Amino acid sequence: MSLILGHRGASAYAPDNTRAAFELAIQMGADGVETDIHLTKDGIPVIQHNYEIDRNSNGKGYVEEMTYEELLQFDFGSWKGEQFKGEKIMTLDECLDFAHKHMRLINLELKQTKNLNSPIVEKTLEVVKKYKMTDRVLLSSFDHELLKKAQRLCPELLIGALYDEAEVEQNNIYDILKDAPQYVADLGFDFANPHVDYLCEEGIVDKFTQKGIGVAVWTVDKPYIAQQCVECGVKCIITNKPDVIVKAVREVCD
């Protein structure tokens, strides 16, 4: 059966990438979550999607230009509702402390960095190894060079190549659109993490499967699409609405 991962937690209902969103995803029956990692100015991996905090907090500015202590001053929950007031930015350490107790799998997305010498890979792997979760982490990124580095440093970790058209153009990796299964196989990665639109190509999941590559697809919020994903052999379905998609997947499997 496909694993269900909450996209930044149960982000349709709770402020994304917060403890509240992660806890709700698990309560709704998700197997784990997909989340995002940035490094603070003082080198601490934190859970945050955007490069800046303007959208999802009462602060402004870029994560990489603030220390962790500075980020702790801001409220990352109230924008979604008063019931979430007081949610703080999570560290990766806090995230994996929760994940290793409650999740079958967690998909960690490394965000691209302006600093080419950023230790984001090393800092992330340090925490993953601390919680002995190398067998339950799927590390993904649109920056495939970061993934190659992670693969060299931790060969036992599951690695997934994220892609969609905008990121392909930005990173000049057009080969992945010509023949994605071969591209990912040549890299030696374990997973392909495409946008759900790319599953429209007939037989594409089978092509990945034949090469020993799993597919983790995002972002699926419609039940009938989730059921199609299960039927064609997708390994992980990433969704903003874990409750809806868990129900849809169980209907197929039953």
The catalytic residues are 7, 49
Instruction: Answer whether 232's CB lies under 8 Å from 220's CB.
Output: no
